[in-house]
Amino acid sequence: MTSKKPAASKRTTLPRQSSYTKRFLQDWSALSHPGRYDMTLLIANDGPLPAQWRDHQLSGKWERHRECHLGGDFLLVYLLDDSGKCPSLVISSCGTHADIFG
């Protein structure tokens, strides 16, 4: 049995390359609760985030970044960078609004 789709359309896209800022690595222990790692995998694979995480674009000095709420006032700030050969996810920071935005 043969498929009529061209070979290129049968291939899956590669997941984004992930990197972390120094600030995020310092916040890692606060992010290591169950379910939070799954959320970073969804972002890295361009999956839709559930509405309860209130994912949205930021403005001002953070204009290229996005933010999602992991629970209450606990946030994850990240950047989806499509400028290079391999699209990447840069997780910039996590913490409360006061911790991140001052």
Q: Which amino acid is at 3?
A: S
CB 100 within 8 A of CB 74: no
List, as own/partner pairs, every contact residues 55-63 make where C-beta atoms lie below 8 angstroms and the sequence separation is at least 24, other chains included: 62/101
Is 56 one of the catalytic residues? no
Catalytic sites, residue numbers: 97
